[in-house]
Amino acid sequence: MKILHCPLNGPRNISEFACLGEVKALPAPQAGTDAWADFVFMERNPAGRVREWWIHLATNYLFIVDRDTRTDEIIATYPIGDPRLDAVPPAGGAP
């Protein structure tokens, strides 16, 4: 079983977490159905680095994970608002 390093709880078995999907820009409330449909249904599903929402289920602690979908390697984890998130681009896709 993989270990995920939670920014709040430290290294824990990955069965204690749930992935809530890729970090995407939220459409404006009045952005219209097309923009919202894209947000809800269209996944980029990149082969490579992806930035995702994860939550530690036991504590409901929500944080951000950079992961490589090709190797399932967890590259880094960040608390929400971590300044590193702006420094490291969430660039996805194959190199």
DSSP assignments along 32-76, one per residue: -HHHHHHHHH-----SSEEEEEEEETTTTEEEEEEEETTTTEEEE
Closer by beta carbon to another protein, 75 or else 80: 80
The least CB distance from residue 29 to another protein, in Å, is 4
Residue 82 has, within 13 A of its CA and on its CB side, a CA count of: 17
CB of 68 to another protein, least distance (A): 13
Question: Site map for another protein, 12-51, x if CB under 8 A?
Answer: ------x-x-----xx-xxxxx-xxx-xxx----------
72 binds another protein (CB under 8 A): yes
